[in-house]
Structure 1
Amino acid sequence: MYLFSLILGVVLLPEVYALECHQCFIGGSCRTQECPAGFQCTAMRVTAYAGDDKILDMTMKGCGPQDMCFQGSLNLGISKAAWTTKCCSTDLCNDQPAPDPSRSDPNGKKCFTCDGQQCTKTLKCLGNEDYCISTTGNRIKMPAKGCASQLISTSAGLLLLVMPLISLVLFS
């Protein structure tokens, strides 16, 4: 009798459906996708500036882990890259793009920034830029210093995304 009840319970249990999200790649092609367990729908925007001019605005949608939901920026003085994300946990809820990054006021923190090989100028950090960063590019050996949000300054994966944006601004 117990075996019959177990089999009947398994057969009659409702199926568990994975969260379904929009997945859009850079360039505009979109489809739907099922997210792995523990993931949610995300919309991300990466915006890069040279001075006050917006030179890059990329949007992407898909599935992502909870720690992918953040806002942050990397500010090198002459260039800046900002990330905004919108996360949600109902089917196809990521139909709108992530918002544009908001303009931020100075937060009182100051970091060094570079002008060529000289890195003695100070830069006023903005918004949630609460860390000073320092790096040198691989090929050109050009130093880069500035302000960054915590998640960007501590995540190697995000820095791999940031460095091509920095190179685009500095060397184009």
Structure 2
Amino acid sequence: MALHITLLLTTVFFSKALALRCYGCLPDSAGSCTQILTCPSRCGSTTTNVYVDGRKVSSNTAKACADPVLCATGSMNSGQSKVTLNSQCCNTDLCNSANAPDLPQKPLNGKKCFTCNATTDCTRTLACEGDETQCFVTTADVDGKKVTTKGCSSKLVCGNGTLALGLPVQPYGFGPFMKCCEGNLCNSAQGLRVYFLMLVPLLSLIVF
């Protein structure tokens, strides 16, 4: 009994010792962030940027407790529009006071994916950058019209989708749900059908 009590008290005090105070908010109009959160182990700051034709048109910084989704970097690129996500995480009290910097430009990685132009021609190709190892296709509502977008994406963004990441990027052609695949130029209509047909037996094995 005494051993159980000792273990319980040790767990309680150890958990408290691990708890951190972190900033947690979206910056206000003055650019400050003063809300304080109690977090289990890490603090984080994430900066999301949107670029159109190479020019930054939107920027958003969030601060919170760091989890696997928040403490990550990635990008998705349709050629005309590009979204970048960069995070910094730390494990001391109020260590996330500074905003995470913009994700730096990454070199081409040799991979290519199909992309679409304004006339819905999706036969052009796009050279992928950095850790953009996935090809994607998504549909978004842009000015009341359904727009199909294709391009390159980091695995993180493809795995979670823009809806899960909370990215306000629909106006730039990136929908909340994305179909993704691995392999050069795999995001043609035929390539995606083959990819998802291959996933069906794999998912059956996992479920059953």
Give TM-score scaled by structure 2 length: 0.68
Residues 99, 160 of structure 1: alpha-carbon distance in 2 compared, 3 angstrom cutoff: closer
CA, structure 1 residues 103+70, in 2 after alignment: closer, same or farther (shift >3 Å)? same
Which of 144, 147, 151 is the aligned partner of 1:146? 151
Match of 1:44 among 35, 43, 46: 46
What letter corresponds to residue 34 of structure 1 in structure 2? Answer: T
Name the residue aligned to 1:70: 72
Aligned residue pairs, count: 161
Q: Report if aligned partners of 1:44, 1:60 keep a CA contact under 8 Å in 2.
A: yes
State the distance in 1 between where 2:173 and 2:163 align: 17
The residue type paired with residue 65 of structure 2 is C
* Superposition RMSD in Å: 2.6
Flag the 1:145–1:98 CA change in 2: closer, same or farther, 3 A.
same
Indicate conservation of the 8 Å contact 1:24/1:61, yes or no.
yes
- Cα distance, 1:22 vs. partner? 1.0
Q: Which residue of structure 2 aligns with residue 136 of structure 1?
A: 139
Question: More relative contact order in 1 or in 2 (CA 8 Å, sep 6+)?
Answer: 1
Letter in 1 for 2:36: T
Of 139-148 and 44-53, more deviation after overlay is shown by: 139-148
The answer for unaligned runs of 5 or more in structure 1 is none
Aligned mates of 1:14, 1:154 — CA distance in 2: 36
Partner in structure 2 of residue 20 of structure 1? 21
Would the alpha carbon gap of residues 136 and 66 (structure 1) be closer, same or farther in structure 2, given more than 3 Å must change?
closer
Q: 2-side partners of 1:142 and 1:80: how far apart?
A: 16
TM-score by length of 1: 0.81
1:165 matched to 2:169? The reply is: yes
**CA 1:141–1:32 in structure 2 vs 1: closer, same or farther (change >3 Å)?**
same
- 5+ residue gaps, structure 2, are 175-208
Q: 2:36 aligned with 1:32, yes or no?
A: yes
